[in-house]
Amino acid sequence: MTPLTLFLAKLIGAYALIMSAWMLVRKDVALQMIESVSREPVAIAFIGMIRLAIGLAIVIGHDSWSDATAALVSLVGWLSLISGVLTLFLPPETVRAAFSKMGYERRYPIFALVSFALGGALLIAGFSA
């Protein structure tokens, strides 16, 4: 694995692990934040800009599919890039509707645990190489 793959695996892994732990511990605040942000077109656009910037940085700097860790890092980059573009260009009502169809509130523990598992896997891969 390249030094960049290891760095990004650690960074993305730590972020996902910390955020998923926060989601599990502070579910009330997380759901309230999501509900508030989803009602504000400016906040939706801002989140799209952040996703776009993160996705571009990863895709431009690390578009490597050479091993499982590199592929996972690149996949996170591409998903961030695509979701950023969609969040920016789709009407806010469409973004809200898509979010609603995901059943986020109902499936909240699943989203948090998937993020926790992804973060843990990336963090372990980043520090064990």
The enclosing H or E element of 93 equals helix 92-101
HSE (side-chain half, CA atoms, 13 Å) at 79: 7
Q: What are the tens digits of pLDDT across the range 19-39?
A: 999 999 999 999 899 888 888
- On the 0-12 / 13-18 / 19+ scale of CB atoms within 10 A, 120 is middle
pLDDT at 104: 79
Print the domain residue range for 49: 3-128
Tell whether the model's pLDDT for residue 72 goes beyond 90.
yes
Closest C-alpha to 44, from 84, 1, 78, 104: 84
pLDDT at 3: 96
pLDDT at 45: 94
Q: Which amino acid is located at 71 in the chain?
A: A
pTM value surpassing 0.85: yes
Domain count across the chain: 1
pLDDT at 86: 95
